[in-house]
Amino acid sequence: MASSRTKTAHFLPLPPLSIKTPPPQYRRPVVIITYSHQSDRSIVYDDSSMAYYIPAPIGSDLNYGFDNKVERNEDEDEHLDGLCDSLRHLEESTGSAQHGDGRGQRKGGIITWRGMITRIMTAPYNDREAWDMTAIALDGSVYIELYDPPDVKAKRRQDQSSWAWQTYMGYSFESFSAVPSVQEETDNDWPEGWGGNVNTNVQKHLQWCNVVRSAIGDIPLCLGGEVDCVRAEPGTSHPGLNKCVELKTNKVIENEKQEFTFHKKLLKHWAQSWLLGIPEIQVGFRDDSGILRNQRGFETEKIPRFIASIPSPRPPWTPNPCLHFLYAVLQLVLHHVLPTDPCLNCPHGRIKPEDPLPNATIWRFSFIPRRGCELYKVGELGIDEQNGRWGGMLKEDFVRWSMR
């Protein structure tokens, strides 16, 4: 890759946590397509992986099935493939003329996973974890993904190994709390409520994905994200975002310190669900032995008010700085990255099948805890020889289709 990192990066400081100015409005998300991952990671454009919520039996052992879990190969990086392929499928199956705006997203906006926007949005209250993201402009939109080089990935895998058991209990709670559309053959030895052995080959990344269109202020967003389950009769069709449920686990709260920690965790829970339009979060509380002791439901929309009502000199968090920072970061990215869209320099904005692809201009933005966000241009790259992707991010056939 031809490196050309600018000497002067564009820096955006964090907003004051006490900011009172009303933030840009976040538009209610609308589902434009859903898809399901199969056990081999293949995708089908239906709701066959949708699960139906049932309250997990109190007393469930969340350690159950640990030895039978199926692990996902973390070395296989799928980038934005599922999201991009679903947008392509949407246009090819319905026709852009019906939607009037191409692949389900409005031009001049952001296309990414819900998790990326969550990281940006919660950054004002993140004083420890730095992160980097890559941005590339294509066909009038900016695609964003986590920058995850091998050394960073290896360190994260090492750090997470000590939390493997706690992480598993989250997946176990999901299995106890949801009935899949297509159920495994029931084993007579399974405990009450168990929905099937944990397969992180689908659960750890995306199982049932909803792709939504939204916006913050005047910035269009197209986000993909996993939905755990829905409140509906098993076997019925997708009931809509207003019936979707997010599942979380937490250690039983026994003192003020643990309660404060949980209230801080609610920021991420709220952001994840709110961004995708999920109205309900069910939290299972387990003891040190992994036994489910109680469960509590939260209405996503009411969580900020609940946090604000906590008797304290200062609440653990408020949405204002989060939304202001999200909008400012995306504005910064769009302002600098969109003008480097190669479609702007192609005749009529399109290329022929036999033409070589123009290079992608690669940008990176980095979050520095307690300081802010830095955006800089990395360089230009066509098809990466190491992973065969345009700009190291997007599949060549998707890029050619976008520039057809």
CA dihedral sign of residues 122, 127, 129, 135: positive
C-alpha to C-alpha distance for 272 and 246, rounded to whole angstroms: 9
**How crowded is residue 58: how many other Cβ atoms within 10 Å of its Cβ?**
13
C-alpha to C-alpha distance for 106 and 274, rounded to whole angstroms: 20
Contacts of 273 (CB under 8 A, 6+ apart): 246, 279, 280, 281, 300
Convert the pLDDT of each residue in 35-74 to its tens digit: 998 877 789 999 999 999 999 999 999 998 877 776 666 6
Convert the pLDDT of each residue in 95-107 to its tens digit: 653 333 444 567 8
pLDDT for 1 equals 59
pLDDT for 14 equals 98
Ranges of the chain with pLDDT below 50 = 3-4, 6, 97-103, 201-206
**What's the predicted TM-score (pTM) here?**
0.91
pLDDT for 146 equals 96
Convert the pLDDT of each residue in 119-130 to its tens digit: 999 999 999 999
pLDDT for 102 equals 45
pLDDT for 166 equals 83
1 touches 361 (CB < 8 A):
no
Q: Which amino acid is at 73?
A: N
pLDDT for 38 equals 82
pLDDT for 71 equals 67
pLDDT for 206 equals 46
Q: Which amino acid is at 181?
A: S
pLDDT for 96 equals 52
